[in-house]
Amino acid sequence: MIVNTLKSHCLLDYAKSVGKQNEMAEILFNDYFRHAKRIDQSAVLKEAAEACHIDWSAADTHMNNAEIASRVKREAGTASASGINGVPHFNIFLKSNQARSQQFSGAQPAATILSVFQKVLSFAKSRV
């Protein structure tokens, strides 16, 4: 099932503003990936907001704000241009050198994830 996730990303944006982004992301991921809920529907988003204990009225106003939607679209475009094209997305880097980051998106085999960490570790060892 493929759905338009703009509203759910706007809801995540609101959740971030009230310090509940991680909790909301977990709820939406479970709703979509485990329970096959349509996270483009207001009733599902309202249920998610209530499960996250955030004010639905304020969240709904935020989600339906054209300026917010425009900003969220711009941020998604920027992410896409930098190679982020799926969820989850991981960007692994050394605090001292973000330019040498390794990133991957989507579900990956354990060997792929291990390879990413090995590359970062190898770079770190070469800097000592």
Q: What are the pLDDT digits (tens) for 84-99? A: 877 778 888 777 665 6
CA distances from 100 to 60, 78, 92, 95 (A): 39, 19, 9, 10
pLDDT at residue number 44: 98
* Residues in the chain where the model's pLDDT stays below 70: 96-100, 128
What is the residue type of 77?
Answer: G
> Which residues, other chains included, contact 36 with Cβ-Cβ below 8 Å and sequence gap of 6+?
1
Q: What are the pLDDT digits (tens) for 11-27? A: 999 999 999 999 999 99
Helices (H), 35-109: 42-51, 56-63, 66-81
Give how far the C-alpha of residue 52 lies from the chain's centroid of Cα atoms, to the nearest Å: 16
